[in-house]
Amino acid sequence: MSKEKIEVNEYDVMGSICRESFYEFFKEFWDTIIAEEMCLNWHIEYLCNELQIMAERVFRGQKKEYNLVINVPPGTTKSTICSIMFPAWLWTRMASSRIIGASYAESLQMDLSRWCRDLIRSDKYRACFPEVQIVKDQDAKSYFLNTKKGRRKGIGVGGIAGFHGHFIIIDDPIDPKEAISQAKVEAANWWLNNSLPLRKVDKEITPMILIMQRVCVEDPTSTMLSWPDTKHICLPGETYSGAEVKPVSVKKYYKNGLLDPRRLPKVVLEDYKGKNEFLYKSQILQMPIPLGRGMFNVERISVDVPPLTFVQKIRYWDKAGTKDGGAFSVGVLMAKDKKGRFWILDVVRGQWDSAVREDMIKATAQVDGTGVLVGVEQEPGSGGKQSAEETVRNLAGFRVFCERPTGDKAQRADPFATQVNSGNVSIVKGPWNKEYVSELQYFSLLNSNYKDQVDASSGAFNRITRRRVVGATSFS
C-alpha cells in the first residue's frame, strides 16, 4: 500500500502558528517593518497575551469583561505592539473586523496606520494570510479596507467621521508637551467620555484599549479608571523610587527594580530623572504630579550654615517594613534655633526590612546623641503598635515618643508648609537635599505617593512646636 507524500508549505505552518498566538505573530513579523534588531523583554509577551485575551472574546461574539488601560514608559515598543502589529494580527483571525486607531495628532496616527498597512502588504504576510487583501480603491494611509470588509481608520483626538469599530485603540491621546494645557486635557477627556463610546459596532462587545505614558493627574488614564469596567496594567520603568506595579503579580519579572534593563537601564533613567523630574515621575514612573498644586513653595527653602546651638532637636521616623518595597523608612532630623527658625539637618532614608530598619534607627540615634528626642509614627492596628513598641525597646537609653496620627496627611503637613512658604525653613547642605526638596515640591492633596519625607517632617515639626494632632496618641 503506497503512502501519499504530504507536502508541507512553510507559510501555511507559519500562518497557522501566528493566527493562534499574537506574540508569535509579533516575533515573526518584527523585521517586516522594523530595521533594528528585535529586543525582547517579558513585558512584550505579557502585553501581547493580554490583548489577545480581549480579542478572543470579540472573535466569539462574547460580551467584553472590561476595557483596558495600559501605562508604560516611552521607548518600550508600545505603539508597535498595539497600533501596528495588533490590528494586522486581528485580520488574520477576523478579517471583517473594523478597527479605530486614535492618537493626539492625526499625523501620528497616519504614520502608525501606514506601518500597519506596510506590514499587511509585505510578501511574508500575504504568503501566510492570502485571504487578507487590501482593496485598491480604498488604500489611504489613514484609512484602508480589505476584501472581507475589514477596515482600519486612524484619527486624531476629536475626530470620528461616522465610523464604528469592533476594536477601539487609543494610543497616546495627549502630547506630553501639551499636558500643562487644561483645555487640551479637558477636550481629550470629553471626547473619550462622550464621543468614542458611541462609535462601537456593538456596545456590549467592543473593547476600548488605552495605551499611554502618564502625562498629568487628570489625563485620559484617570478618566478611564473612573469607569467601573476598566482593567489597569501599569508598568513603571523602575520600582526603586516607589512606583507601583499593576497587577502586583508581574512585579516579580522586574530585574533589580527595572522594567527593561536593555531599553531603560538605570544609567539612562537616572540621566532622564536629573534633567526633568516632573516628566520622569509621570512618564517613567506613571505617577503624575499635579502641576502647580504643591503645598510647598520650595524656592523659599534656603541652604545655609546652621548655628552652633539650638533650642531643640528631634529625629522623627516614618517607618516602612518591606525591603525594596514601594514606601521608604525616613528619619528627619529637625531643629529650632533661638530666633524661631527651623532647620532640616539630616535625612536618613531607605527601603529596609524590619530588622535592618531597627538597626538603622538605633545607629542613627547613637550618632545624633542622647540630647536628640526620637519620635516614631505608629501605624494603625496591632501590628503598628507592636512595631512602635519594638522601636522603643530598641532605643533604651534615649528619649523616645510614639504617636498615632489619624488626621489627613495634608492637614498634618500644613503647619510645616506654612513655615516653608514663609521662608522660615533652612536645610544643611547634604547629598539628601535633592530628593528631599523634590518630594516637598511635588507633595499635594491629589498625590499620596510622595509622602514619606513629608510625613516625617510634619511629625517632627508638630512635636517641636508642641502641636498635638487631633486623634493622636503619644507616650514617652
Q: How confident is the model at residue 290 (pLDDT cuts 50, 70, 90)?
A: low
pLDDT higher than threshold 80 for residue 226:
yes
Q: Which of 126-130, 214-218, 276-280 has the lowest mean pLDDT?
A: 276-280
d(CA 213, CA 44): 16
Cell of 57: 472574546
What contacts 1, CB < 8 A, 6 or more positions away?
none
Per the prediction, the chain carries an average pLDDT of: 88
Question: Domain with 410 in it: what CATH number?
Answer: 3.30.420.280
Lowest mean pLDDT: which of 162-171, 218-227, 230-239, 463-472?
463-472
Residue 71: CB partners within 8 Å, gap ≥ 6? 211, 212, 213, 214, 221, 232, 233, 234, 235, 236, 286
Regarding whether 312 and 277 lie in a shared domain, the answer is no
CA–CA distance, 260 with 95 (Å, rounded to integer): 34
DSSP state of 298: G
Which pLDDT band, with edges at 50, 70 and 90, does 322 fall under?
low
278 and 304 belong to one structural domain: no
Pick from 422, 415, 406: nearest CA to 461: 415
| Same domain, residue pair 218 and 327 | no
Q: 329 and 256, same structural domain?
A: no
Q: What is the pLDDT of residue 6?
A: 52
Q: Residue 82: which CATH number?
A: 3.40.50
pLDDT tens-place string over residues 94-133: 999 999 999 998 888 899 999 999 999 999 999 999 999 9
Domain housing 258: 10-284
- 3 within some domain: no
- Partners of 315 in beta bridges: 333, 374
What is the pLDDT, as a whole number, of residue 53?
97
The pLDDT assigned to 132 comes to 94
pLDDT digits (tens, 9 = 90+) for 29-58: 999 999 999 999 999 999 999 999 999 999
Q: For the residues 355-374, what does the mean pLDDT come to? A: 94
User: Which of 378, 353, 374, 347 lies closest to 440, judged by CA?
Assistant: 347
Give domain status of residue 293, yes or no: no
Q: What is the mean pLDDT of residues 343-362?
A: 93
Q: What mean pLDDT is predicted for residues 403-413?
A: 77
322 within domain boundaries: yes
Residues 272 and 320 in one domain: no
Domain boundary among 284, 319, 350: 284
Asked whether the predicted pLDDT for residue 265 surpasses 90, the reply is: yes
Res 293 pLDDT > 60: no
Is residue 439 predicted with pLDDT exceeding 80? yes
pTM to 2 decimal places: 0.64
Does residue 92 lie within any of the structural domains? yes
**Is residue 341 pLDDT above 90, yes or no?**
yes
The pLDDT, as a whole number, for residue 9 is 85
Is residue 352 located within the same domain as residue 327?
Answer: yes
Contact 329, 356 (CB under 8 A): no
Identify whether residues 116 and 150 lie together within a single domain. Answer: yes
Is there a single domain that holds both residue 243 and residue 97? yes
Domain finish residue from 284, 317, 345: 284
pLDDT tens digits, one per residue of 131-173 = 999 998 876 778 899 999 999 999 988 877 678 999 999 999 9
- 2 inside domain: no
| Residue 290 within any structural domain of the chain | no
Q: Is the pLDDT of residue 475 over 60?
A: no
pLDDT greater than 60 at residue 325: no
- Note whether 320 and 179 are same-domain residues: no
Judge contact between 91 and 146, C-beta under 8 A: yes
Instruction: Give the Cα separation of 87 and 97 in Å (integer).
Output: 9
Do 172 and 108 meet the contact criterion of CB atoms below 8 Å apart?
yes
Task: Give a yes or no: residue 289 inside a domain.
Answer: no
pLDDT of residue 58: 97
Residue 336 sits in the same domain as residue 239: no
Per-residue pLDDT tens over the stretch 326-340: 578 999 999 999 999
Considering only 83-87, 184-188, 453-457, which range has the smallest mean pLDDT? Answer: 184-188
Say whether both 349 and 424 belong to one domain: yes
pLDDT band at 1 (very low <50, low <70, confident <90, very high): very low
| Structure letter (DSSP) for residue 299 | G
Asked if the structure places residue 165 within a domain, the reply is yes
Measured between alpha carbons, how far is residue 444 from residues 117, 297, 334, 449 in Å? 45, 11, 22, 9
Last residue of a domain, one of 250, 284, 318: 284
Mark whether 305 and 373 lie in a shared domain: yes
pLDDT-based confidence at residue 222 (cuts at 50, 70, 90): very high
**Confidence band for 473, pLDDT divided at 50, 70 and 90:** very low
Q: Detail the DSSP E strand segments found in 241-290.
A: none
Starting at the edge strand found earlier in the chain, the sheet holding 143-146 runs 134-139, 143-146, 151-156, 98-103, 167-171, 208-212, 67-71, 230-234
Give the count of domains, the chain: 2
**More confident: 103 or 278:** 103
